[in-house]
Amino acid sequence: MIERRPFDSLGGADHGWLKAKHHFSFADYYDPARMGWGALRVWNDDEIAPRSGFPPHPHRDMEIITYVREGAITHQDSLGNTGRTGAGDVQVMSAGSGVRHAEYNLEDGPTRIFQIWILPREAGGPPSWGAKPFPKDDRSGRFVVLASGLPGDAEALPIRTDARVLGATLKAGERATYPADPARHLYLASSKGRVRVNGVELLSRDGAAITGEAELAVEALEDAELVLVDAA
């Protein structure tokens, strides 16, 4: 089962400095049919204006993964961590028992991100943060694990949940496959470019909620950049 969720159907808000689209219920957007997908709770498509951002605010008991699509995001938190994550790269934060953090676009142009929240395996634990570059050449034509709490994903950023986050870049006409467990919940979004997933066409920034599939076969109809979550 693949349910296409067109970009134009997503909830959202325009705060001036922040233009947000929500794949699932979030903040003032509520849709009882889109409360989450398995352990995946939030997928926000955010555009942050230059020299602005999210001031310090608290989180707890959530795994927060930020995929930078364009520009860069600068992170600061109450643990003393700071870091700048650029386009194509990923940062993760395990909020655990509680942490305050801020995320700023300190660049001269807009920053565009996917921010993904996944429920943790268990509540509590010490909070943590990490970031890592993922060269796009390494995921050209195939899915590469970016963040994971599953066995065997040693090269990925660690998260405390039974899920993994993957990325792929495909040239027009290229194909990539991913072996799926039909019992799990997958969610795919195209950061840019049209693709066809098991026969279902997605436009740029559409989402697809997927379950009951033994394999994903993705064909790029245009040059495309993809992010996939595989969650319990």
Q: 100-118 pLDDT, tens per residue? A: 999 999 999 999 999 999 9
Per DSSP, helices labelled H in 56-202 are none
CB neighbours of 44 closer than 8 A, spacing ≥ 6? 20, 21, 22, 23, 26, 113, 114, 115, 116
Residue with tokens 């889109």: 34
**Domain of residue 10, residue span:** 2-231
User: Which pLDDT tens digit goes with each residue over 19-33?
Assistant: 999 999 999 999 999
- Dihedral (Cα; 178, 114, 101, 149), 10-degree rounding: -10
Q: Decide if 69 contacts 38 (C-beta within 8 A).
A: no
One pLDDT digit (tens) per residue for the chain, 232 residues: 999 999 999 999 999 999 999 999 999 999 999 999 999 999 999 999 999 999 999 999 999 999 999 999 999 999 999 999 999 999 999 999 999 999 999 999 999 999 999 999 999 999 999 999 988 788 999 999 999 999 999 999 999 999 999 999 999 999 999 999 999 999 999 999 999 999 999 999 999 999 999 999 999 999 999 999 999 9
Are 225 and 174 spatial neighbours (Cβ–Cβ below 8 Å)? no
Gap between the Cα atoms of 72 and 88, Å rounded: 9
Distance CA 231, CA 37 (A): 8
Report the predicted TM-score, pTM, of the whole model to 2 decimal places: 0.97
**Domain with 88 in it: what CATH number?**
2.60.120.10
Q: Where do we find the tokens 């930078």?
A: 68
Q: What is the separation, in whole angstroms, between the first and last Cα of the chain?
A: 16
Angle at 136 between CA 167 and CA 120, to 5 degrees: 30
What one-character-per-residue DSSP string does 75-93 give?
Answer: EEETTS-EEEEETT-EEEE
Overall number of domains in the chain: 1
Specify the pLDDT at position 99: 98
